[in-house]
Each structure stands twice: as structure tokens, then as C-alpha cells.
Chains A and B, each alone.
Chain A
């Protein structure tokens, strides 16, 4: 990496790009995890939204819900991008990232949700106008960097982002050109990967896919959306790193943050050398016999501690070349034979895995203790896992929020269920107390589910007593249906015809073979009278009652 110019001077685009790549290489895994937490749901949601809206026949029906989901995912993405940029900024400044308090997270989310969506309007407009594009683009990228919730107000954040966007416009333009070219190369890479992988799968493994059957399969919007999304996912971390560095150097012009960072870096780099130098001093003294003995001043490091520090330093990877080669001696286990050695190695591997799992579980337990505010276990120190603190803080806030929401939803659901049960019980009680009004059998829209079978039967006998045989037969048939539904031999539905009930009954009456015949007889008589307008009389009614009686007793 080339030497950086003095504070306030504009660096070259290539140099900044190189520095951004170096920064990304040094970035710890938790920061990458935070980035993935934002990007993966958003990209999956976007592809689903794209596919649903471009192909589904029911797109219009789901549009509002899906759009709301996408908006929430966008805010989610921007919030995690701000977390990622904060980690980048901390790494560049050679300092630990600040903890994410609930207040800070809320401020950051509100800020991102308030400002970032304007990019959908401003960026295309700027692109059409061409000239202001670089500034507008830089502004919205900078919002992710400076919008981490530290600024006192929304206005201050926006002004800061704009100030950073206006700095070094020539560098900004060069950077955009280079990043665009890189994005094109990445896009071509993804396209060629998608184009070649199916053919390689077919050639090597014989797996046939849509793409190998016809190359026309590539020509669809979903394919291009997928490739575009993957290109963006590949390029976006670099874009964020570049604009994080730009913001860092812009702010350093007034704060001197770059000098402080350089000093911190030098300090951390010189510590092992300093210790080495301290360790070498007495050795050098002993080497020369003529040199008079120098008595160590009072208050200096004890010899044992110094030796330990020296050993520690020399054991580091950078100094191992200074160590003499140690001749390895055959241990007793080497004579045990290759088979036992093989099993011993497996046992050692399993043991190492188990230790790793135990360590992870231990860490998780400590994290849970800290999250729940329980007493810390002895031996635990904040520095021992200080790395995790940076990214676990926002996670902790989100987890607590999620737990709170889940608890609220659960309580609400239990309360609603309780109320429904209460209402059903009250309604049932009311139904027992007050008999349901009898439906008008002259009307067509009468369902057998309206009354219990006894009520229908009583109604039928009332009509029979008055000589209204047609209505009596209808009530009798409805009573049969209600009875069969009560015995769960039929499922009543307004769209089912009589023969569909017969078929349903035939399927369910293996245990009661005597059910089908009386039901069919009753149905045929009812249909002749009800649909065919055939005359009904007491004799026919008597026969139908017998059918019903057989049905009830079967």
C-alpha cells in the first residue's frame, strides 16, 4: 500500500480502493455476519417480490402486503448496513466500536427509515440529469456511514453526509468510474457462472436442468434479477468500505482522527519490538566480557518475567524463523502401529471438537448471563470476549425486542381465545335457554344445520298433523340429514346435492351397512314430492318415517 499523504490532501482513487480492499480483508467475521443479516433477507425478499409481481396471476391481490414487506426489509437492510459501516469505521480508526444502546439503535433506525427511501427518487433523477449523480450517490452512501445514531439530530446527520459527499469530487468521480467497471466485470462473471454451471453439471454428473434443455430458459426477468442482485451483493461491501474511508478522511481534516489512528497503529506495532529490545539488553551485556556489569535499576522487570515475555514474543509467527530447528524425537506412541495411531488420532480429533463445542457453549452461557443480567461466573472478564461485545449489543437489543413482541402476541392471543370461549359458552347457554326460531320451510334457503334433528322431527309431525305432507316430508328429510351430521357420518355443506350425500354416506358406512338403504329410500321419496311435485299422503309419510326410524337405529 502506498504511503498516505498528509491530512487534508486528496488521495488517488486507486489508492483509496486498495485501502478499502485491505480494510475489508481485516474485517472480523462478526462484522460480515451483521452485513449478511441485512442483505440476505432483503435480496431473498426482493427476488420473491420480483417473481411474484412479474409472473403471478394474483399479483395485484398481494401487491400492497408484499410492498409493505419490501419496505420493512429495506429499512432492515439499511440499519444493518449502518452497523457494518460503523464496524468499518472503528477498524479504520483503530478503536473498539461503541456499544449499541437501545436508544442509539432506535435513533439509527428512524434516521435510516426517514432519509434512505428518498434515494429511490433522488438517484434516478440525478442519473437522468447526469452531472449531480456522483454527489447524490455519495450522499446516500455516506448516510449509511454517518447515520449510526451518534449525531445529535437528523439535520446534523444529513449535513454531515452532504459535507462528506462534497469533499474531493474528482476522487469521487474516479471512484465511481472504477467501481462501475468492476461491477460490470463482476456481472459478466456471474452471468458466465450461471451459464456454465448447468453445462458442467450435465457434462460431469449428467444432471439435466432447464438451462441445458434450452438456452431460451436464460431469457427471463427472474434470471436477470438474480444475476443483478448477486452483483450488487458482491459490490456493495466494497462500495461501503470506499465511502466509509472517504467519510473518515473528510472528518479527519478537522478532527485529526487519521493521525490518532496512525499513532494507535504504531503503538500496537511497536509493543512487541519494545519488549524484544528490553529482553535483548541484558543478553547483549553478557555477550561482552569486557563490558562492565550493569546492575539493573531498581523497579525494572524481574528476570523471570522478562524471559517469559521474550519467549512469548519469539514464539510469534513473525519471529519463528529465528528459532533453531528442533529435532523431533519418536514418542512411545509411534511404536504402537499405524492402526492404533489412526484410532488415537480420531480420538484426539473428537476430543478437540468436544473442547471447541464446550467452549462455544460456555461462551453462549456467559452471553446469556450477561443478557439476562445474571451474576457473572467467576473467571469471566469483559476483555476475554470483548470482540463479540461490538456486534452482540445490537443483537441483544433486537432479541429483547423480539422476545417482548412475541410475549405480547402470545398474551393477546391467549386473551382473545379466552374471550371467544367465553362468548361461545354464553351463546350456548343462551341457545339452551331460548329455543331457536323455526325456519320457514316454504323458503328454499333452509339448511339442516339450523335445527337439531329432534326439532326437525317435531316440526315434521306438526305439519303432518295439519295435513301439509310436502312440508312434513321436507322437515323429515332435513331431520335425517341433521341426525347423520350429528353422528359425523355426513359433513353438511350448502353446495352438496342429495346424491353427493349418498356417496359420502356410502364411503363412511362400513361399520353401519344398514344406513344406506333407508337413507336412499327417504331421499327418493323426498325428491319425488319436493322436486317432482308428486302427491304426498299419509301413507307415504308413514313410509318415510319408517325409513328415518331405520336410519336412527342402524
Chain B
């Protein structure tokens, strides 16, 4: 094992240990969130209320030494509430920028589908370019700017489904299920002992594992991870198969190819490897592709799901070995 691999493993092991002080279980969810951060991308988090979506992002910010901001999306939220606005200062006789919550490192867009498309679109430029334009003036955002948008999978009344272009901006979708029995039992016991996850975080017991600029260095290190040409071709075959599949109305675009490639690298890093294997790609195909694909209505009526289509594609595409 080379020193580079050892450094990753050590840093990521410490980060996981700190996160586990607050988040009980949910190892896969934590890994997927870390992948989004390590690749400088954004994630869509879907889960029923009370599964610690907000707490996860706050903990990640604390562990990775980043700023955290939260926006509760509502139907009357305006784009300027997100980006900020220029306010006229009577004393100085000039406009002063009041920065919105978007000027942060980790932004939690809570229940993003509660706001209309116009407000959702305010995030598009920020997510893609890490910059916002306010009154014709473009302002750069933090290089660590990462959006975690949450959605409730059961309440659709009074919501505005995310447009395909917006969904494509999210590298992966993280499904947060309810914790298992043992995990929930641990949570209950900790509550009784006054060790509730929120209290642990509030008391500052979670220590940052990275310095102010170390996240950038960690991201740069991702580029050293080897991805063989055959694996890139395999990944491309998977993505292209979604465009030709008879059950799919809209397949995944080129941004999905990039996302899957980046996520696979991050997955290899989290596994302590400096090379990507077909297993990394297969494991991430579902989180990366599922929210991007649109099923044809006639197949949806037949009971087919996007998950099943992706699984079939994975079974049918030959793995390079």
C-alpha cells in the first residue's frame, strides 16, 4: 500500500469515526455524502421526516471544517431569498449586497420541491458554476460549495417536482431509510442518557478532521486514482444503454457519465484503493442514474421501476475482467 493510500484511509477513517458520534448506522448514506463532497458535486437526499437528513449535513460540515447554511423551501420563497439582494444604504448613498444563504460551504436546501421552479432555478447557476449573479454582478461562491437538497418521498401534494435539468445537476440521489432496530435502540438509550445526537453536536464534541484548505487537497488527490480505459468504456456502455432501453423515455445524459466516473473514483478512495474496479461502478450506478431516468408511462403501468431497468442493464452489460 503506497503512502497516498494510507493518508486517505487515515483521514477518511477519522472522518467516519467523528460522524458516527452523531449519526448512528447509515454507513452507506455517510459514504455517499462523502463521495459528493470529495468530488465537489451535489446530492439529493430523499427520506421520510426524522431520519436525520439535516443532522447529517450539519455533522459533515463540522467534521470537514466547513460552513453550514440551511434554507427551508416554501411556496412563497423568492430567488433573492436564496442568492441575496442589493439594499440601498442611505447613509453611504449606495447599494450594499446582503448575501443570501447560498454564500456558504454546505447548503441544505430542505424540501426543495416545496418551492416553485423559478425559485429552484436560482440554485442552477450556483450549483453548476459556483457563482451567483445579483443585479448583473457575478459573485463567486466558496470552492467547497455543496448543495444537499432534501425531498420527502411520500408527500407530493402541494409540491413542485424538480425539472430534469435541475435533477441532472445532482451527482447522486441518497435514499435515507429508517434505521434498523438495533440502531434505533441505541438512539433511544442515548436519548435517555442525555447523549442525543443533536446534543453531542451542539456541545462541540465532534472535532474537525481537516484543516481549512485540506478538503481542496483531498479533492485534488482524487485525480491520482487510476481508471483503466476498459472501465471507462464499461461505464460508458452502462450510461448509453439507458438511452437505448425500450422502457425509458429519457436516458442519462453526458453529465451522468461524468458523475458516475467521479463517484467511482471517490468510492475507490473511500474503500482505500487507488484504482477503480467494476464493483465501484456497479454499486454507484443506481444512486447516480436512478433520478435521471424517466420511465415510459406504458411500462410504468406494467409495474416496472427505474431501479429494475438499471439492474437489468447491469446484468446484461459485460464486466471487463
Contacts and interface: CB of A to CB of B under 8 A. Distances in A.
A421 interface: no
A496 to B, nearest CB: 7
A493 interface: yes
Contacts of A532: 226, 273-275
A495 B228 contact: no
Nearest to A526: B321
Contacts of A55: 301
B275 A494 contact: no
Nearest to A496: B319
Given A495-B314, A497-B279, A57 B320 contact: no
A527 B314 contact: no
B275 A497 contact: no
A527 B319 contact: no
Interface string B288-321: 0000000010110110000000000011111111
Contact of A499 (B228, B279, B302): B279
Contacts of B320: 444
B315 A495 contact: yes
A493 B278 CA distance: 14
Contact of B275 (A57, A499, A528): A528
B319 to A, nearest CB: 5
B25 to A, nearest CB: 21
A446 interface: yes
B218 interface: no
B278 A497 contact: yes
A495 B319 contact: yes
Given A495-B319, A496-B319, A533 B301 contact: no
A56 B302 contact: yes
A478 B319 CA distance: 13
B278 A57 contact: no
Interface in A472-500: 477-478, 493-500
Nearest to B301: A57
Nearest to A58: B302
Interface in A400-456: 444-446
A120 interface: no
A247 B60 CA distance: 90
Interface string A499-518: 11000000000000000000
Nearest to A502: B279
B274 A497 contact: no
Nearest to B233: A444
A531 interface: yes
Contacts of A478: 321
A267 B276 CA distance: 99
Query: Main SS of the interface on chain A?
Result: loop
A58 B303 CA distance: 13
A495 B298 contact: no
A536 to B, nearest CB: 14
A57 B302 contact: yes
A498 B318 contact: no
Contacts of A477: 321
Interface string B250-276: 000000000000000000000001111
Interface string A518-531: 00000000011011
Residue picked from A444, A494, A496, A533, most chain B C-beta under 10 Å: A444
A499 B314 CA distance: 14
Contacts of B278: 497-498, 531
A58 B301 CA distance: 11
Contacts of A494: 318-319
B275 A533 contact: yes
Nearest to A59: B298
Contacts of B302: 56-58
Nearest to B312: A495
Contacts of B39: none
Contact of A531 (B276, B298, B301): B276
A531 B296 contact: no
B231 interface: yes
A20 B278 CA distance: 76
A499 B279 CA distance: 7
B319 A531 contact: no
B277 interface: yes
B312 to A, nearest CB: 9
A478 B230 CA distance: 18
28 contacts: A56-B302, A58-B302, A444-B320, A444-B321, A445-B318, A478-B321, A493-B315, A494-B318, A494-B319, A495-B315, A495-B316, A495-B317, A497-B278, A497-B279, A498-B277, A498-B278, A498-B321, A527-B275, A527-B277, A528-B275, A530-B321, A531-B226, A531-B276, A531-B278, A532-B226, A532-B274, A532-B275, A533-B275
Given A527-B275, A532-B274, 19 more contacts: A55-B301, A57-B298, A57-B302, A58-B302, A445-B318, A493-B315, A494-B318, A494-B319, A495-B314, A495-B318, A496-B319, A497-B282, A530-B321, A531-B231, A531-B277, A531-B278, A532-B273, A533-B226, A534-B275
The 7 closest A-B pairs by CB, nearest first: A532-B275, A57-B298, A494-B318, A495-B315, A499-B279, A444-B320, A497-B278
